[in-house]
Amino acid sequence: MPLTTSSDSTPGTPALVLGESVTALGVVRCLGRRGIRALRPGPHGDYASRSRWSQRLSLELGSSPSAELLADYLERLPVERAVIVPCSDDWTRAVAGLPVSVRERFPSTVPTPDAVGVFLDKADFAALVERESVPHPRTIVSDDAAALSKWASESSSSFFLKPTDSQKFTRRFGFKAMRVDDPGEIQGKLAEAASEGIELVLQEYVPGPTTSHHFVDGYAALDERVVARLGRRRVRMYPPDFGNSTCHVTIPFAQVAEAADELERLFASVGYRGIYSAEYKRDERDGALKLLEVNVRPWWYVEFAALCGVDVCHLAYREALGLPIEPIGDYEVGARCILPGADVRAYLALRRRHELAFGPWLRSWVGASHTVFSLADPLPGLWQLAQVGTRGLRRRR
């Protein structure tokens, strides 16, 4: 279903897509299908820069995002004007911190550093949802390991440790959270993370299967309207406990409408505007959808949302340029999307536990969208396969 706007035409202003991998590729494709050039700063080692809609820039941008680094890069960039679309938490922080003078030439819909930071820092986020009485897992923020251990041991719930900075933690450890099987482990895990400059919080584990995870994706306009909303449900994930979706399906929005209303109230309380994707888990103890986290930027499946009729990248692009936007009233329900390599690992893990047979798993791929592989834009998928094969050969040698 095509996006409804006041005009089918778009100006010649390009977009500068910051970040890499599947999120950046999704943004490039969303914009490219609208006839919008997607500029990609070097270096160009990732598959997002191999898209047919990607225009590679020879001027290289450093790999340590900051507002100062980005402002210096933009001053040297031989581009008259471009809309900035950050595709990672770090780049979102950097764009939010750009001086006003730079943002006039390179506009975006990224709001203030405060409005962004409260969602990126998990300790601040825990305080926000508690203050606004939004249903969420209980979260304890403290650097007192003994107090955390005592609290966890006296509670009837299960807990895990999660980082305040998710992307930094994942880059270092390769997973999203640390399970707490024994409260006595807390002190050692806090110390291990602290040695890497990472803070952890203790959070209650919401019981329920993989399919209890629900998502609300959308776009909050600058005039406080929420003009696009989409509901999804997770089908598979990898790793099994604290991983990412490898297969999911769109659902009728009525199934997550109440949670979405709470989310929009949360946005209003801090003045957040822009692209978002919120993750929930339905608590099997009381049936409530508990808010786990909110991505305040494009997410892995942003292209899939556009294919279903909710193109938040185009909305953000138009609004950054001061062009009118109109609400999106509907989307395709029952559509599926696969993250291919990770879903193979998810299937193997489920098969070992005798929870999924080969036939049903294979059938779930039929008719589904894929995050990297696309007949309309094949080179990124081929590039990724070549990279995987090269790494495999190096390991064997």
32 and 50: one domain?
A: yes
Question: In the prediction, which pLDDT does 178 show?
Answer: 79
* Residue 188 falls inside a structural domain: yes
CATH code of residue 42: 3.40.50.20
User: What's the CA gap between 385 and 151, in Å, rounded?
Assistant: 47
Confidence of residue 393 (pLDDT cuts 50, 70, 90): low
Q: What is the mean pLDDT of residues 35-41?
A: 96
Give the integer Cα–Cα distance in Å for 373 and 391: 19
Confidence (pLDDT) at 392: 66
Residue 2 has pLDDT above 50, yes or no: no
* 216 and 194 within one domain: no
With a cut of 50, say whether residue 5 has pLDDT above it. no
pLDDT digits (tens, 9 = 90+) for 109-129: 999 999 999 999 988 999 999
pLDDT at 6: 36
Q: Tell me, yes or no, whether 43 and 25 share the same domain.
A: yes
Is residue 303 located within the same domain as residue 166?
A: no
Please give the model's pTM, rounded to 2 decimal places: 0.90
Q: If you search the block for the tokens 């929930």, which residue do you land on?
A: 280
For residue 293, the domain's CATH number is: 3.30.470.20
Identify the pLDDT of residue 27: 98
Q: Judge if 229 and 339 occupy the same domain.
A: yes
d(CA 63, CA 74): 15
Could you read off the pLDDT of 221-276 as tens digits, one per residue?
A: 998 899 999 999 999 999 887 889 999 999 999 999 999 999 999 999 999 999 99
Q: How far apart are CA 187 and CA 242, in angstroms?
A: 20
Question: For residue 239, is the peptide bond before it cis, meaning its omega torsion is within 30 degrees of 0?
Answer: yes
Residue 387 lies in a domain: no
Q: Are residues 230 and 287 in the same domain?
A: yes
Question: What is the per-residue pLDDT for 4?
Answer: 35
Query: Would 8 be classed as within a structural domain?
Result: no
Domain count, the chain: 3
Residue 289 inside a domain? The answer is yes
Q: Are residues 229 and 309 in the same domain?
A: yes
Cβ neighbors of 318 (< 8 A, separation 6 or more) are: 5, 10, 324, 325
Q: Are residues 182 and 82 in the same domain?
A: no
Question: In this structure, are 175 and 234 located in the same domain?
Answer: no
Q: In terms of residue numbers, what domain contains 217?
A: 210-382
pLDDT exceeding 90 applies to what percent of the chain?
69
In this structure, is residue 7 part of a structural domain?
no
pLDDT at 140 (0 to 100): 84
Whether 215 and 231 have beta carbons less than 8 Å apart is answered as: yes
Of the candidates 204, 226, 242, which is a domain's last residue? Answer: 204
Residue 1 has pLDDT above 50, yes or no: no
pLDDT at 258: 94
Spatial CB neighbours of 22, under 8 Å, sequence gap ≥ 6: 48, 300, 339, 371, 372
Among 186, 204, 222, the domain-final residue is 204
Shared domain check, 200 and 227? no
Q: What is the structure's pLDDT at 101? A: 92
- In this model, does residue 277 exceed pLDDT 80? yes
Q: Which amino acid is at 124?
A: D
Domain end, chosen from 114, 130, 158, is at 114
Q: Residue 242: its pLDDT value, please?
A: 83
Co-location of 149 and 224 in the same domain: no
What is the 3-class SS of 161-206, one letter each residue? EEECCHHHHHHHHCCCCEEECCHHHHHHHHHHHHCCCCCEEEEECC
Cis peptide bond prior to 298, omega within 30° of 0: no
The answer to whether residue 10 is domain-embedded is: no
Check whether residue 198 and residue 234 sit in a common domain: no
Within-domain flag for 389 = no
Predicted local confidence at residue 11, as pLDDT: 55
pLDDT confidence of residue 7: 39
> What pLDDT, on a 0 to 100 scale, did the predictor assign at position 390?
72
Task: State the Cα–Cα distance between residues 152 and 178, nearest whole angstrom.
Answer: 14
Q: What is the pLDDT of residue 183?
A: 78
Average pLDDT of the chain is 90
Flag whether 177 is in a domain: yes
Tens-digit pLDDT profile for residues 147-198:
778 777 777 678 888 887 877 777 777 777 877 777 777 888 888 888 888 8
pLDDT digits (tens, 9 = 90+) for 223-232: 889 999 999 9
